[in-house]
Amino acid sequence: MDLMNTYKQYPLKMVKGEYNYLIDENGKRYLDFLSGIAVNPLGYGNKKIEGAIIEQTMNLIHASNYFYTQTPLKLAELLVKNTCFDKVFLANSGAEANEGAIKLARKYSELKYNIDRNVIISFTNSFHGRTLATLTATGQDSFHEHFFPLPGGFKYCPFGDINTLKTMIDDSVCAIIIEPIQGEGGINIAQKDFLLSMRKIADEKDVLLIFDEVQTGIGRTGSFFAYQDLGIEPDILTSAKALGGGLPLGAFMAKEVVAKSLVPGDHGSTFGGNPVACASGCAVIETILEPGFLDQMNEVAEYFKEELVKLADKYPVVKEFRGKGLMLGLELYIDGADLVKKAYEEGLIINCTNVRVLRFLPPLTIKKEEIDILIKFLDNELMKRSVA
């Protein structure tokens, strides 16, 4: 293998995708409850996405950000029209979107106050990316090991602890970054009261609230972005993963009063807002926002949730069900790795995060009959592990 040894890869070579299935080199089909880690919202082989990619590829693949091109403008317009934000910066990944959000928050604060007001507060168990700044924002020591010295200006608050947060916000703090539901950290939901209090204190102190919706966004939790269902507006929002429908695409968005802090020369990205990725992104957003799409998804998600709750109630090996929309998890009392391996053998793709949390992030197009296949598998395997 010529690739660096950075991923724990299972020896499967995927060659094709069809609807909600991945297919390996031997023709074996895998019902997918991971969707490329929340990246393929419409499953595989979606005609609208493919058509948009082909059309844009035949017209123009890349022109540089010295010029406007059509699809990034259209994508930004779709994002602005369907959120509370006024301006969008297009990037290539979640980490890059978060890097930009951190820079924007610091510049806003510097212009308004002074250069010493630059600390970003993040939360324990969070995950914000693998670049040095986003790695530092990530509130898990295991990700920091081996990479010191880390950039300065980051502090960590226990997730959900509003009293500690209040004591941490002093004159050095410019922003708070939070995932409304922690993904890599184990499907941990930020309670609405906690977020409301956070919004209030952020307003009082003029500290910017950044929602990292890289995993929760683009329909995943049941609304276009999770903040919309919560009714709490962040000042900056980051998106990636499903935004590009499988192509690398990220974004950070902000209201005008914040966004105007960045001027030419402050930030950029050679590939950011690539026209082909944006064409795919437009197709994704248009599909997800079609009337009825999210209603249908939420109905299926409710069914999935009920079935998982039943398993959590039935088997002592399950500690707890957590999740919202199609971002669902079962925390076990045991390591989940061998269950994931068993699932692959049985033609199912599931994931385990933070050692003991089985995480389900299927395409938003998953069907009840397909959920039944997974539930049957889990029922069997959890039963075996509960009696052992």
Kindly list the residues in this chain that would bind ligand PLP in the complex (CB under 6 A): 93-95, 98, 127-129, 179, 183-184, 212, 214-215, 240
Pick the closer one to ligand PLP by CB: 94 or 325.
94
Return d(Cα 255, Cα 180) in angstroms, integer: 19
Query: Coil, helix or strand for 295?
Result: helix
| Smallest distance from ligand PLP to CB 222, Å | 17
Q: Count the Cβ atoms, other than its own, within 10 Å of residue 384.
A: 13
**63's tokens:** 């022109």
| Smallest distance from ligand PLP to CB 236, Å | 13
CA dihedral 308, 309, 315, 317 (to 10 degrees): 80
Pick the closer one to ligand PLP by CB: 214 or 288.
214
Residue 173 · residue 162 · CB < 8 Å: no
Pick the closer one to ligand PLP by CB: 17 or 183.
183
Residue in the block written with tokens 């300065």 = 152
Return d(Cα 339, Cα 237) in angstroms, integer: 35
What angle, rounded to 10 degrees, do the helices at 70-81 and 275-288 form?
30
Residue 278 · residue 247 · CB < 8 Å: no
| Smallest distance from ligand PLP to CB 213, Å | 8
Pick the closer one to ligand PLP by CB: 249 or 259.
249
Return d(Cα 197, Cα 296) in angstroms, integer: 32
| Smallest distance from ligand PLP to CB 27, Å | 30
The size of the chain, in residues, is 388
Pick the closer one to ligand PLP by CB: 72 or 180.
180
| Smallest distance from ligand PLP to CB 26, Å | 29
Return d(Cα 30, Cα 17) in angstroms, integer: 9
Return d(Cα 307, Cα 300) in angstroms, integer: 11
Burial class, 115, CB count within 10 angstroms (exposed 0-12 / middle 13-18 / buried 19+)? exposed
Return d(Cα 36, Cα 371) in angstroms, integer: 17
Query: Coil, helix or strand for 179?
Result: coil
Pick the closer one to ligand PLP by CB: 85 or 127.
127
Pick the closer one to ligand PLP by CB: 20 or 134.
134
Return d(Cα 79, Cα 274) in angstroms, integer: 16
| Smallest distance from ligand PLP to CB 41, Å | 14
| Smallest distance from ligand PLP to CB 237, Å | 12
Return d(Cα 188, Cα 376) in angstroms, integer: 25
| Smallest distance from ligand PLP to CB 214, Å | 4
Which residues are within 8 A (CB) of 11 and not within 5 positions of it... i.e. 6 or more apart?
Answer: none
Pick the closer one to ligand PLP by CB: 182 or 365.
182
Query: Which position's Cβ is nearest ligand PLP?
Result: 94
Pick the closer one to ligand PLP by CB: 222 or 307.
222
| Smallest distance from ligand PLP to CB 7, Å | 12
Return d(Cα 60, Cα 250) in angstroms, integer: 20
Pick the closer one to ligand PLP by CB: 94 or 272.
94
Residue 274 · residue 62 · CB < 8 Å: yes
| Smallest distance from ligand PLP to CB 216, Å | 7
